[in-house]
Amino acid sequence: MRYKLFAVKYGWVAAAWSDRGLCALTLPCTEPGQAVLGLADRLKIDVNQLVEGSIGSQLRGLEDELKRYFEGQRCDFNYPLDLSWCTPFQYKVLTSIKNIPYGETRTYRQVAEMIGRPGASRAVGGALRSNRVLLVLPCHRVICSDGSPGGFGGRPEWKVKLLEIEKK
């Protein structure tokens, strides 16, 4: 698996890709090594399976977009994705949230309704928790019905921060 580190406003972001497209992205970490370890964890592989490489043409522009995003600029993140690890339900949930506009939110219930499974709010939360390509598939834009942020892969403070970045 190939990866690259990017310096952004809040630290280091790591991205991994396959021949199919982007397959994982981390949130900013204070140290580059933390980002690489986080990437391996997200991919559920040993860190030694990651090989640093140059971004190919299919992901050209990712570094600039990440930098702009964390500076508070709107970005679309339209890159090919490798979602081969997804179950059909995860795939349906994750691809549906791509349509939530920048700076807006939806509830877990609304996402469940969007995919035709109105009673599956908890299952939607589980599918979002599996998201390996944060920001590109904006799971941070999905919140609880009461307006609270809900979970975010062990780093809920980042969910709040990302929503604040998008409100500027």
Q: Is 75 a catalytic residue?
A: no
Catalytic residue (one of 23, 29, 86, 139): 139
pTM of the model: 0.93
Domain-wise residue ranges, the chain: 2-70, 88-167
Residue 156's pLDDT is 82
**Residue 154 has what pLDDT?**
67
Q: What is the pLDDT of residue 150?
A: 87
At the topology level, CATH places domain 88-167 in: Arc Repressor Mutant, subunit A (1.10.10)
pLDDT along the chain (168 residues), means of 10: 95 96 96 97 96 88 96 94 97 96 96 97 96 96 93 83 92
Q: DSSP string covering the chain, please?
A: -EEEEEEETTEEEEEEE-SSSEEEEPPPBSSHHHHHHHHHHHHTS-GGG-EE----GGGTTHHHHHHHHHTT--------B--TT--HHHHHHHHHHTTSPTT--EEHHHHHHHTT-TT-HHHHHHHHHT-SBTTTS-GGGEE-TTS-----TT-HHHHHHHHHHHH-
